[in-house]
Amino acid sequence: MNIVMKWIHLLGSPPYFYRFSGKLLPWLTVICVGLLVWGLYGGLVQAPADYQQSDAFRIIYVHVPAAWMSLFIYVSMAIAGAIGIIWHVKMAEIVCITSAPIGAMFTFLALVTGSLWGKPMWGTWWVWDARLTSELILLFLYFGVIALYRAIEDKRMAARAVAILALVGLVNIPIIHYSVEWWNTLHQGPTVTKFDKPSMATSMLIPLLVMAIAFKVYYFIALLLRMRTELLQRERNSKWVKELVGLS
């Protein structure tokens, strides 16, 4: 077994993971805050106004990274769920279930900022076009995952049921991404995530990418925090948790 595989196996051990993530979190927080300040200053102050939408386009610096994250977290959740089913890795099950509330939060943020953007630009808060509807279904999928996990008493069993639901819902991800190309929609087509060169000026694009990375780091922080809580709860009777809180 090489050193990388050894390390991955070590991370599967709850006490080791707890200690390691505790050391990682302060650094990640510094990186995340730094990227957020850079991205927001670049997007809200430095980037030029748009030729059509002038300053109103700046909501893109929250809306688009949040929408990307809503898809990214769903895929991570489904992959972690599949690993949990196939290899019965407890840590993967925890990644799967703790990702759901974070993903739901980003989906909600994307829907709300989109709505706030739609009113002044399109002239409406909401339309039932393919992009908006499929993104709303994604929010309901996240809610379904959270509710299903809460509904089943045996948590190992619940994690398996949740993983199946997450894998079934995976079909929605390409639909969301390609909805603006397959059908006529009010929502615009892709600006950045396509094979052509991004149809955005570089001075506007850089803060957008910085914000996207900042949101990814935020997801990682929120995930680690939630995983640590879940681990303490699940392993509350084990020796290492009792030692940690000074009970034995």
Partner 1 sequence: MKPIRRQRLLLIIAMVAAIMGSVAFALKAFNENLMYFYSVTQVANGESPDDQAFRLGGMVVEGSVKRPGEGLTVVFDLTDYQSTVTVKYTGILPDLFREGQGIISTGRLDADGVFIADEVLAKHDENYMPPEVADSLKQSDATNQTGLNR
Contact footprint for partner 1 (CB under 8 A): 48-53, 57, 60, 82, 85-87, 120-124, 127-130, 164, 167-168, 170-171, 174-175, 182-186, 188-191, 199-201, 203-204
Please identify, using beta-carbon distances, which residue of 136 and 175 lies nearer to partner 1.
175
Backbone angles phi, psi at 32, to 5 degrees: -65, -45
CB of 179 to partner 1, least distance (A): 8
Q: In the block, which residue shows the tokens 């059509």?
A: 52
Please identify, using beta-carbon distances, which residue of 104 and 132 lies nearer to partner 1.
132
CA dihedral over 15, 16, 22, 23, signed as positive or negative: positive
Which string of DSSP letters, residue by residue, matches 91-158? HHHHHHHHHHHHHHHHHHHHHHHHHHHHHHHTS-S----HHHHHHHHHHHHHHHHHHHHHH-SSHHHH
Please identify, using beta-carbon distances, which residue of 202 and 237 lies nearer to partner 1.
202
Angle at 29 between CA 28 and CA 32, to 5 degrees: 85
CB of 82 to partner 1, least distance (A): 5
CB of 53 to partner 1, least distance (A): 6
CB of 162 to partner 1, least distance (A): 14
Please identify, using beta-carbon distances, which residue of 181 and 243 lies nearer to partner 1.
181
Please identify, using beta-carbon distances, which residue of 186 and 225 lies nearer to partner 1.
186
DSSP state of 45: I
Please identify, using beta-carbon distances, which residue of 63 and 226 lies nearer to partner 1.
63
CB of 204 to partner 1, least distance (A): 5
CB of 185 to partner 1, least distance (A): 5
Q: In the block, which residue shows the tokens 């200690």?
A: 19
